[in-house]
Amino acid sequence: MLVKQATGRSKRTMADLKKLFKGEHPFLTEPGFWIAAGHGMSGEPLDRVPIQGRMQISHEESHEGKKIVNIGEMSIVSRSNPMTFHTSYELTLSGDELVLNFFQANEPVGDLRGQVVVFDDRLVSTYSSNDGSLTGCEVLHRMGENRYAATGTIFGEGKLINLWKLDLVRPAKDESHEKDEQSDEV
């Protein structure tokens, strides 16, 4: 059931979000651990590089309301220029039932803001930096109960600077607990 705000507009809850997705997008509606692996192109000139990573999806509540939080680590596996970067972004409910708001605090480039749109078995996101110099998009295509294919791009000043194609896999619950315990030991 939708909760009415004083403005007369409806305020959706996390339960409403789960009903909207009808269980179709566990990447957002179910807290859990996901593993990413694939390839990307980065650098100048663009070179193909292997990418691997992991992320933890959680649901949190703050004074601003409910939000979905994605905290992760991605590594470019390269002999010449290995690099690991941390990702952290939040998704919050918007006034449109098919759209989530996207926010990522990103020190190297500034804050990124955008939207995630739900369309059947796809999650389509677009985002940009506050000054518009950095823009990007990503499509997550649900391929199975515990698997997505992700494809995305980032442009800087209108020039392609990064693109990727990743498989996201949610391991069995026992495996994800083992990974959490291993990461605590490191």
Question: How confident is the model at residue 160, as a pLDDT?
Answer: 93
Cis, peptide link before residue 82, omega less than 30° from 0: no
Question: How confident is the model at residue 7, as a pLDDT?
Answer: 35
Query: What is the 3 state secondary structure string of 99-158?
Result: EEEEEECCCCCCCEEEEEEEECCEEEEEEEECCCCEEEEEEEEEEECCEEEEEEEEEECC
What is the set of domains in the chain, with CATH numbers? Answer: 3-185 (2.40.128.20)
Question: How confident is the model at residue 8, as a pLDDT?
Answer: 37
Q: What is the mean pLDDT of each run of 10 residues along the chain (186 residues)?
A: 35 61 78 95 87 94 82 83 84 86 81 92 94 95 94 94 95 59 42
Question: How confident is the model at residue 62, as a pLDDT?
Answer: 74
Query: What is the 3 state secondary structure string of 49-60?
Result: EEEEEEEEEEEE
Q: Which token pair is 18? A: 């789960």
Q: Which tens digits make up the pLDDT trace of 15-30? A: 666 655 666 788 888 8
Question: How confident is the model at residue 4, as a pLDDT?
Answer: 32
